Structure 1
Amino acid sequence: MPQDEYAISPAVRETYGPADLSREPVFAGGFINFGHWHGIDLAEPLGEAERIRSQENLYRRVLDAAELPKEARVLEVGCGLGMGCALTLREYDPAAVTGVDIHPEQLRRARERHTESAQLRFTQGAAEQLPFDKSEFDAVISVEAAQHFPDLAAFATEAARVLRPGGRVAVTSFFAADDTPERPAQLAELLPTFADGLDLARPATALAEAFAAAGLEGVGTVSIGDQVWPGWDTWLGRLWAPDTWPRNFRKAWQRGILDYYLVTARQPDPS
């Protein structure tokens, strides 16, 4: 499908195109996520090594939740620069890893960083329109990308379609804490990324319900915010003063209007 047929929001197109979010110092090592800071001493000075470790740890948290079988075929939706795909290939011994991203510039950067092979490939596609066959993958993962997906129900349907029987999906990202009608406005007031449409204010339960509606079973939703927000905010303190807008992510969490979640589900296996 030609790239202009994918509906990329202006905010997503700019942030992951010319702006290249991965160049920002807060996203060290080419990853673009807030990090999972378990096991990292936040009382000690944080350097780039700790920051990269936090981002890798977030992938490990998701991949462990996906319960990969031996020689798994893994799909990452919203792969960005492919750093998580490379980690999966390096540490989890899969048969193959495929990264899909809607943004052509991100795919170009991923291919510049990583050599494609029979075990690693990158493909353009939308979360709601995955260019893969039915039952092609043992696991579908997504790390801090679902906040951009315009249609969680369509994503859930596609994830279910490409999963083999018994396969698992594991998604982590930040979501509104609940479906209270005031939440989108509250988040937009604190965080410009919600105001300009880069991030979409939906509760994690919306994704969980979408997985169930798509026929997946064993749906689980767990908050991991206590392992994300304090570390992220401590790291931000190197570059951003208190009360500047990026520091408001932790403030939104403390106010109970935003949190970080891991959502998992399984494709039924009739056998």
Structure 2
Amino acid sequence: MSGNPAERSAPAVRPAVWETYGPADLSAVPVFSGGFINFGYWQAVDLDGPLSEADRIRSERDLYRHVLDAVAPSGGRAVEVGCGLGLGCALALEEYGPASVTGVDVHPQQLQRAREANSPLLAARPDRLRFVLGAAEELPLDDASYDCLYSVEAAQHFPDLAAFAREAARVLRPGGRLAVTSFFTVDGAAAPAERLAGLLDSFASGLDIARPVTGLADALTETGFAEVRVDSIGPQVWPGWDRWLARLWEPGTWPRNFLAAWEQGVLDYYLVTATRPA
């Protein structure tokens, strides 16, 4: 399929995704301090003491750093799928030295917010940062045009992981690297979709989709990616995320059940990496 953006129509957006990232503006919810929309990577944060907003923002930025370390974008062209407010794109540009970063998001309101949030950087480096509207399953990008592709806590919303894998293979150059981090069901867990819908409103509403991490890994392998690797980073995510939630949510409320789902072996947080063969 051609990657010419002019030939693409606006992507369809599932209702729960449209509401959450549009009118509801999840990025403005206090639990996502700083505008990043992720659960955080808490390895460098002291969880035994009181948590500050600075700790929370560090966890969100550190999750991006953990992913970007895996694709090493220095000097190459990078694309983030599901970029949200684009703060991760800005972090990549400022800390990792890619030639350029393209942020892709399925929601037009998110892209508008991304352009507003990053307006100084866009004005200063128009040749190195841009944001485009597109779905993970039909990226509005040219073939073999990127050296690395990454996605941070967005894949739980992708309707078709196989289509995403095919598009990632299409837009990456030979030798290009891919890194995806998000939460997936644990392989072998009994009735994970039903159990997660009973524990977590985000699964019950259809915002998050319950699928095993091997669904993504297998899709990448079948598409021709090599060196496909799956690593659990749950110990660096779930305890810190729950400690942060405890500031705003009482025990027994549904957001606190993310930790319970992990402890019950139903849900985990993973980093999936792969290489487009040369």
Q: TM-score, normalised by structure 2?
A: 0.94
Is 1:167 aligned with 2:176? yes
Could you tell me whether the CA contact under 8 Å between 1:78 and 1:127 is conserved in 2?
yes
Structure 2: how far apart are the matches of 1:259 and 1:252? 8
Structure 2: how far apart are the matches of 1:65 and 1:89? 15
- Partner residue of 2:138? 129
Is 1:178 aligned with 2:187? yes
Structure 2: how far apart are the matches of 1:160 and 1:2? 20
Could you tell me whether the CA contact under 8 Å between 2:189 and 2:265 is conserved in 1?
no
Is 1:212 aligned with 2:221? yes
- Counterpart of 2:99 (choices 95, 99, 102) is 95
Could you tell me whether the CA contact under 8 Å between 1:193 and 1:199 is conserved in 2?
yes
Could you tell me whether the CA contact under 8 Å between 2:189 and 2:266 is conserved in 1?
no
3-state DSSP of counterpart to 1:197: coil
- Structure 1 stretch displaced more, 173-182 or 224-233: 173-182
Structure 2: how far apart are the matches of 1:127 and 1:100? 8
Could you tell me whether the CA contact under 8 Å between 2:213 and 2:270 is conserved in 1?
yes
Where does 1:11-160 land on structure 2 (aligned, <5 Å)? 11-68=16-73, 70-115=74-119, 116=122, 117-160=126-169
Structure 1: how far apart are the matches of 2:45 and 2:189? 34
- Partner residue of 2:3? none
Q: 1:179 to 1:99 in 2, by over 3 A?
A: farther
**Structure in which a larger fraction of residues adopt helix:** 2
| Identity fraction in percent | 62
Q: CA deviation at 1:67?
A: 2.7
Structure 2: how far apart are the matches of 1:76 and 1:166? 17
Which amino acid in the other structure matches residue 8 of structure 1?
V
Q: CA RMSD in A?
A: 1.3
Structure 1: how far apart are the matches of 2:110 and 2:15? 15
3-state DSSP of counterpart to 1:26: helix
- What is the aligned length? 268
Q: CA deviation at 1:3?
A: 9.2
- Partner residue of 2:237? 228
Q: TM-score, normalised by structure 1?
A: 0.96
Is 1:258 aligned with 2:267? yes
Structure 2: how far apart are the matches of 1:177 and 1:62? 20
- Partner residue of 2:12? 7
